[in-house]
Amino acid sequence: MVVHSSNRSRTPRMNQVGVKPGLQKSRMLETARRLFWEKGYNATSMRDIAVSYGCRPANIYNFFS
C-alpha cells in the first residue's frame, strides 16, 4: 500500500518574495512609478525596478509578457 501525504496548505500560493499573485502586479507597478518619480523615466532601467522590487529583471519581463 502506498500512502501519499502533503504538508501543503490550501491557502493561495505565494511567490518567491512572499507576495500573493494578485498583489504582485500592483506592487511591481508602484515600484516602477516611485523610481520614475525619483530618477525620471529615461534614467530608470528594468534592472533598477527589479532590484528595488527584490527580483531579477527576467521575472518582471515574464510576469508582464
d(CA 32, CA 43): 12
Could you tell me where the DSSP H helices lie in the chain? Answer: 21-39, 46-53, 57-64
Please, what are the domains in the chain?
21-64 (1.10.10.60)
pTM for the complete prediction? 0.65
d(CA 44, CA 49): 7
Per-residue pLDDT of the chain (65 residues; tens, 9 = 90+): 665 555 554 444 445 556 666 688 889 999 999 999 999 999 999 999 999 999 999 998 888 88
- CA 39, distance to chain mean position in Å, is 21
